[in-house]
């Protein structure tokens, strides 16, 4: 991989990298599958056409490690980008979907990529994965990016660790190496801003025991935002000394069929898409209810017609509330009035994802604020009222200071009462 391609790919991955995980797996060999004839379903029709020039890229996170003796693709996120409307979607596809692999048989989706490589399927694992998704769900993609967990660990460590906005207290249970099927509590991560190195971030992303099966997807998105915010905090000056480490992490642990020009174009396009125009979705139990196979394995059985309808709406325009917020375009500044590092960046991301126009992030003059305060320089507005409700700020903590020369319309000073929670 050339230095230009590696540098461009590093920038792209930082924009929408899918964090990897291993989770709990049940070994399934090809020899135990049903015959191909009995397993292949009637192919699903391809989804309704997306807007012209839409780009579909699947992000694959694997537990691959040398020597390559079989591995799982436990994170699959389909990224769709409409470059004209500046709208994107990120759809998490569960690893436990029970699918029919064309020509092979039925098993979990997370085995397909490795099988394609092992069986030398034309085009390799991604090509077999594409064929499987098309036949079973009508989903297709143009390109792939695959990263293994060693690459993820190295990338996070090269950034100096990340500060993760943990929304819910989480118990991290890990397998007991000498006792298959048993788990031990590694540690409990409290809600709030938590600093993580690569190893801890990986465990936080991959742990599934004693938690809802889809809880891991929420944690992966938290880590994704933390990586992005760490890059913003470092800036170009801070990233340059770490560039060599980042490139080394990418060299042996990332594969893609994108060429250097395509990667660079995507890295330049993604920052142009506002957070409120990124639809984050997951194929959950309402679309894939749990089922036990005749062999006794726990899987998710896809509801194919409803998944098709769900996928066709993934590039929907912003909601009415987001549209009004965009129309008012009130400029917001978010200042950290606490000693929690990176808190203002995390809250700014939450606000942007809901359609607020955050233009400034910084620190308050004093870092001992208990109650969050909102200062309005332009009077009442739909934005102000919605912001008050979302941050649960009392009327007494809203200050009106008319100033038509102010560069922002509203200033938010975060207090310790704004500590992230499960809501």
- DSSP per residue, 55-114: EEEEEEEE---SS-S---EEEEEEEEEETTTTEEEEEEPPTTBEEEETTTEEEEGGGHHH
Summarised one tens digit per residue, pLDDT across range 346-355 is 788 778 877 7
Average pLDDT over residues 27-54: 49
**What's the whole-number average pLDDT of the chain?**
80
Q: Percent of the chain scored above 70 by pLDDT?
A: 83
- Per-residue pLDDT band at 370 (split at 50, 70, 90): confident
- In the Cβ-directed half-sphere of 204, how many Cα atoms lie within 13 Å? 33
- Per-residue pLDDT band at 274 (split at 50, 70, 90): confident
Cβ 67 vs Cβ 100: under 8 Å: no
The residue ranking higher by pLDDT, 183 or 353, is: 183
* Residue 16 pLDDT greater than 70, yes or no: no
- Per-residue pLDDT band at 229 (split at 50, 70, 90): confident
Summarised one tens digit per residue, pLDDT across range 138-158 is 889 999 998 888 888 888 999
**Domains of the chain with bracketed CATH:** 3-312 (3.40.630.190), 320-418 (3.30.70.2390)
Cβ 114 vs Cβ 304: under 8 Å: no
* Residue 192 pLDDT greater than 80, yes or no: no
Average pLDDT over residues 15-27: 33
pLDDT at 43: 58
pLDDT at 262: 86
Average pLDDT over residues 87-112: 91
pLDDT at 248: 75
pLDDT at 224: 74
Name, in order, each residue with C-beta under 8 angstroms of 94's C-beta and a sequence gap of 6 or more: 109, 213, 214, 282, 283, 284, 288, 300
pLDDT at 421: 42
| Token pair recorded at residue 370 | 């208990």
- Per-residue pLDDT band at 302 (split at 50, 70, 90): very high
* Residue 388 pLDDT greater than 60, yes or no: yes
pLDDT at 3: 52
pLDDT at 408: 93
Cβ 300 vs Cβ 288: under 8 Å: yes
* Residue 40 pLDDT greater than 60, yes or no: no
Summarised one tens digit per residue, pLDDT across range 326-349 is 888 899 999 999 887 778 887 887
Q: How far is CA 135 from CA 47, 283, 289, in A?
A: 11, 17, 19
First to last CA, the chain: 43
């Amino acid at each position: 991989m050339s230095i230009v391609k590696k540098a461009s790919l590093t920038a792209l991955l930082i924009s929408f990298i899918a964090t990897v995980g291993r989770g709990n797996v049940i070994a399934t060999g090809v020899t135990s599958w049903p015959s191909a004839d009995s397993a292949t379903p009637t192919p699903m029709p391809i989804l309704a056409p997306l807007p012209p020039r839409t780009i579909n890229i699947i992000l694959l996170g694997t537990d691959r490690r040398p020597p390559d003796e079989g591995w799982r693709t436990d994170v699959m996120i389909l990224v769709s980008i409409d470059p004209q409307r500046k709208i994107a979607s990120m759809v998490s596809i569960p690893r436990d979907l029970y699918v029919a692999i064309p020509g092979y048989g039925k098993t979990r989706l997370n085995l397909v990529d490795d099988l394609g490589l092992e069986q030398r399927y034309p085009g390799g694992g991604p090509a077999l994965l594409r064929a499987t998704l098309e036949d079973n769900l009508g989903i297709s993609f143009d390109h792939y990016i695959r990263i293994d967990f060693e690459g993820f660990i190295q990338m996070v460590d090269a950034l100096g660790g990340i500060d993760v906005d943990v929304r819910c207290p989480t118990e991290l249970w890990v397998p007991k190496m000498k006792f298959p099927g048993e788990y031990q509590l590694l540690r409990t991560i409290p809600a709030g801003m938590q600093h993580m190195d690569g190893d801890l971030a990986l465990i936080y992303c991959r742990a599934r025991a004693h938690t809802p099966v889809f809880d891991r997807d929420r944690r992966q998105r938290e880590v994704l935002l933390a990586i992005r915010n760490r890059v913003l905090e470092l800036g170009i000056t801070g990233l340059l000394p770490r560039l060599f480490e980042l490139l080394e992490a990418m060299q042996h642990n990332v594969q893609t069929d994108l060429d250097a020009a395509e990667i660079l174009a995507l890295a330049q396009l993604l920052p142009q898409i506002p957070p409120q125009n990124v639809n984050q979705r997951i194929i959950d139990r309402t679309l894939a209810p749990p089922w036990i196979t005749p062999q006794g394995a726990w899987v998710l059985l896809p509801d194919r017609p409803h998944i098709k309808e769900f996928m066709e709406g993934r590039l929907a325009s912003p909601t009415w509330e987001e549209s009004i917020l965009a129309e008012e375009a009130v400029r917001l500044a978010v200042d950290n009035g606490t000693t929690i590092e990176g808190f203002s960046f995390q809250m700014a991301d939450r606000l942007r994802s809901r359609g607020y126009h955050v233009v400034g992030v910084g620190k308050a003059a004093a870092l001992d604020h208990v109650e969050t305060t909102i200062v309005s320089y332009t009077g009442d507005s739909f934005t102000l009222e919605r912001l008050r409700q979302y941050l649960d700020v009392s009327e007494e903590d809203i200050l009106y200071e008319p100033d038509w020369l102010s560069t922002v319309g509203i200033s938010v000073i975060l207090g310790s009462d704004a500590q992230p929670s499960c809501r």
